Amino acid sequence: MDAELFPRSRTEVAPGAVHVPDWLDAARQRELLAACRDWARPPAGLRTVRTPGGGTMTARQVCLGWHWYPYGYARTVVDGDGSPVKPFPAWLGELGRAAAREALGVTPPPYDIALINFYDGDARMGMHRDSDEQSDAPVVSFSLGDTCVFRFGNTETRTRPYTDVELRSGDLFVFGGPARLAHHGVPKVYPGTAPPELGLTGRLNITLRVSGR
């Protein structure tokens, strides 16, 4: 990947949805990974999310600021150990606002929710919308570790039309405005593609949202 003839360029995947490759440098990726490992420890640590129909999500999750569960938010891990959700750090919110400015040229209200999803080589994420918030501020997504296929769709249906984007470690993806409620998912992860120097087996996705509460 380092030997690519043509560097990857910033791409507007859809109006309001922008992919910025390599936005996080190696040092910032290591800092985020260390923080994610701390956040993943109990109490209120990494958990398996159970859906109302009785199924489970294959990507495991930990939340900051507000705890997400299908389909709402709480201040405690209501579908886990019952502990108070871990606090949302101000520095992470500032990173998110800088990312939104870089990608969309806007400065959103302060971010107060982080959903951190861990994918092993077999994990997937079905097509869904981030629609449980009361704010329409842009969603900011950082990728660490293994490369994945990120499927970005439309606001009306989980099916086509959609665009598949390859997200690598350090990439930024932001969607807001007309794309804020677009369906999206992760149909595939490529095991063993993380930068060796990062020291991560698997993929972490850090998604920032504004609750509007």
* Ordered domains of the chain (ranges, CATH): 11-209 (2.60.120.590)
pLDDT value, residue 5: 82
Flag whether pLDDT at 3 surpasses 90: no
CA–CA gap between residue 94 and residue 76 (Å, rounded): 24
Q: Could you give the 3-state DSSP secondary structure of residue 45?
A: coil
CA–CA gap between residue 133 and residue 65 (Å, rounded): 13
pLDDT value, residue 85: 98
Flag whether pLDDT at 128 surpasses 80: yes
Q: Could you give the 3-state DSSP secondary structure of residue 150?
A: strand
| Residue 2 pLDDT level (bands cut at 50, 70, 90) | low
Q: How many angstroms from the chain centroid is the CA of residue 95?
A: 13
Would the annotation count 183 as a binding residue? Answer: no
What is the pLDDT averaged over residues 115-137?
Answer: 98
Flag whether pLDDT at 21 surpasses 80: yes
Q: How many angstroms from the chain centroid is the CA of residue 123?
A: 14
Q: For 132-155, write each residue's pLDDT tens digit.
A: 999 999 999 999 999 999 999 999
Could you tell me how many helices (H) and strands (E) the chain has, helices first? 2, 13
Would the annotation count 128 as a binding residue? Answer: yes
Would the annotation count 67 as a binding residue? Answer: no
Return the DSSP state at 197. G
How many other CB atoms are there within 10 angstroms of residue 191's CB atom?
A: 15
Flag whether pLDDT at 1 surpasses 70: no
Q: For 68-93, write each residue's pLDDT tens digit.
A: 999 999 999 999 999 999 999 999 99
